[in-house]
Amino acid sequence: MSDALNLGWSSARARSRLSAYRAALGFNILLEFVIGVACLTAPDFVSHALGAPPPSPSGWMRGWGALLILVAALYLPGLQNPLRSRYANIVGIVGRVWTALVWFCVGGGLIWLGVFDLAFALVLAWLFYRYCVSELMSRP
């Protein structure tokens, strides 16, 4: 196999893995944004959907929604150029694991949020690792 053919194949694999990582991260950002907007506009509905007691006062649920929207916005540089913004991606993955542990400790209906965060942390970590390795292998 010639070097040009091998590099072309490696570059194609890196682009494919980049698109898979971007799709997963973009879907996660979209979900966090939607949940954040729902928390801001309908905090009672969100707490009922999670099986939690109605927020009293509802300000903490709205504050959490605003923070989710902020976090989703902070992930955008990692979506645009994951390799250049790898610090933001790694911190985001570790932050999702930490948040999942917090939700598991809180318990109740919030365990589903822990499952959500842990599942996305594992998927994103795996996809990001695969992308980084294939990107490094595509460079001579």
| pLDDT tens digit sequence for 100-129 | 999 999 887 788 889 999 999 999 999 999
Q: DSSP for the chain, please give it.
A: --HHHHHHHHHHHHHHHHHHHHHHHHHHHHHHHHHHHHHHH-HHHHHHHHTPPPPSSTHHHHHHHHHHHHHHHHTHHHHH-TTTTHHHHHHHHHHHHHHHHHHHHH-GGGHHHHHHHHHHHHHHHHHHHHHHHHHHHT--
| pLDDT tens digit sequence for 9-45 | 677 888 899 999 999 999 999 999 999 999 999 988 8
User: What is the domain count for the chain?
Assistant: 1
- Check residues 31 and 59 and name the one with the higher pLDDT: 31
> pTM of the prediction?
0.85
Full domain range(s) for residue 12: 3-137
Calculate the average pLDDT of the chain: 87
Provide the b/e sequence for 35-72 (b: ≥16 CB within 10 Å): bbebbbebbeebbeebeeeebeeeeebbebbeebbebb
